[in-house]
Amino acid sequence: MTENPQSRPLNPDPVSSAPVTDQALDAGTYTQLRTARSDGRLELDGVWHQISPRYVVSQIVQNLLFIIVVAGAALVVAFVLHQVWALIPAGVIVLITLLTLIILPRQARAIGYMLREDDIVFRKGILWQRMIAVPYGRMQLVDITQGPLDRAFGVSQLKMVTAAATTGVQIPGLTQAAAEALRDTLIKVAETRRTGL
């Protein structure tokens, strides 16, 4: 975990309260909508928030590095060790990875979260859409993580752990500022719900 509680920004990203419709998402709206208060926390306004476009770039770079490793290993096995059959599974893996990269931008546009009065709703998926509502009072842990390449591109993943493991949610592709603002909001609201205030 690479978060630093001292690194909370005093002036968060630009604010927009306009709702995101499916039509706007299909048109390629990548902007990460945020409604922030003066204390840096987000409003419970029922507006869909999108992930950062940096997530797509980060995933493309990671997948291209994976393709290079697979292709390199296959070429070594095929031409140095004279096992030409290794090119077939490597070709299949590379093809599947390239197809994944083609649909990656659309998948990223389908990821979003909404802060409502009593819960946070997370959605993802294109053909098979999934929506999860997590009540604030059931949250036990809110964690921010970054891999090495994520850090290089300035994106984080926020994980919410609840009492039931099946309702845990991971939101990828948040900027560090957005992840910290969301974490602070969830912690504050969860404490309020648990104490009944």
Say what the pLDDT of residue 190 is: 86
CA–CA gap between residue 113 and residue 124 (Å, rounded): 9
Per-residue pLDDT of the chain (197 residues; tens, 9 = 90+): 444 443 333 333 333 333 434 434 333 333 333 444 445 678 888 889 999 999 999 999 999 999 999 999 999 999 998 899 999 999 999 999 999 999 999 999 999 999 998 899 999 998 889 998 888 888 888 999 998 888 999 999 999 988 776 656 899 999 999 999 999 999 888 888 776 54
Q: What is the pLDDT of residues 166-184, one digit of tens each?
A: 656 899 999 999 999 999 9
Averaged pLDDT of the chain: 79
C-alpha span between 106 and 3 (Å, rounded): 29
Look up residue 36 and give its DSSP letter.
B
What per-residue confidence (pLDDT) applies to 193? 77
Domain covering 5-57+105-195 assigned CATH 2.30.29 in the classification: yes
Quick check: 150 and 156 in contact, CB under 8 A? yes
pLDDT attached to residue 138? 84
- Do 36 and 181 meet the contact criterion of CB atoms below 8 Å apart? yes
Q: Quick one: pLDDT at residue 166?
A: 61
H or E element that contains 70 = helix 54-75
- Residue reference for tokens 């036990």: 140
**Number of alpha helices (DSSP H) and beta strands (DSSP E) in the chain:** 5, 7
CA distance 17 to 49: 10
Burial of 184 (0-12, 13-18, 19+ CB in 10 A): middle
Q: Within 10 Å of residue 65's Cβ, how many Cβ atoms?
A: 11
Tokens of 32: 């990460």
Q: Rounded to whole angstroms, how far apart are CA atoms 15 and 89?
A: 47
- List the chain domain ranges: 5-57+105-195
Cα 79 to chain centroid, rounded:
40
Question: What order do you get walking across the sheet with 169-175 strand by strand?
Answer: 139-145, 155-162, 169-175
